[in-house]
Amino acid sequence: MKKFFRMSSKTESEKLGGMTVPKRSHDPAIIQKKFELIAKLLTLVNSLPPGTEAPNYLIMRKIFSIKKEIHDLDLMWRLTDEFYFQEYGVLSSIDLINTRKPWNAAINTIRYMDLQRDLMTMREKFPEWEFTLSDVRKHSTCKCSECQKQKLLTAKEEPLSKDEPSSSSSSSIEGLD
C-alpha cells in the first residue's frame, strides 16, 4: 500500500481558524533563506544548556525572532505535524507494554487498549497508513553517535520500503503464536 503523509479532513483555512492561507513560495531564494533560518534555529536550540538553570531570556528572544522570520516567509511552516504525533503515539503505545509482567496483566491490557485506540485514530485520519521498517528507523530511540553512524550506514546499504514486508502480509506475523 502507498503511504500518505499529510492528509487531513480539515482544509488549511479551517486549521487557521478561517484565515485565508497564503500560497507557499517556490522561489529558490526564499526556500534557501528559510532553510538557513531553520539551521540557525536548530543551532540555537542545540546551544541551550542542559539542566534546570533559569531560562535564558536572550536565547528565548532569539528563538522567537528566528521563528517569526521563518513564518514571515512561510506562515504554514512547522517542525512537525499531526501525522507525526499520531505515528509517535502508536510507537509509544508499543513501547509502554511491560514485558516484565505477564502479557495479560492489567497494566498490559490497558496498554493494548491504548495501542488499539491509537491505531484506530491513525487509520481513521490516514486510511492508507501502515508502518514499515523505515518508520521505525526514523523514530529510533538511541541517539548516541555510534548508533546514528550505524543508522546512516544501514540506510545507505539497504533499500527503504521496496523489499520490506507489508504490515498486512501474513509473513510479517508468523511465529507470534
The radius of gyration of the chain from alpha carbons, rounded to an integer in Å, stands at: 20
pTM of full prediction above 0.85: no
Q: Is 85 left (phi over 0), alpha (psi -120 to 50) or beta?
A: alpha
- Pairwise CA distance, residues 172 & 132, whole Å: 11
- How do the domains of the chain map onto residue ranges? 12-73, 82-157
pLDDT for 54-86, tens place per residue? 777 888 899 999 999 999 998 888 887 788 888
H or E, element range at 136: helix 133-138
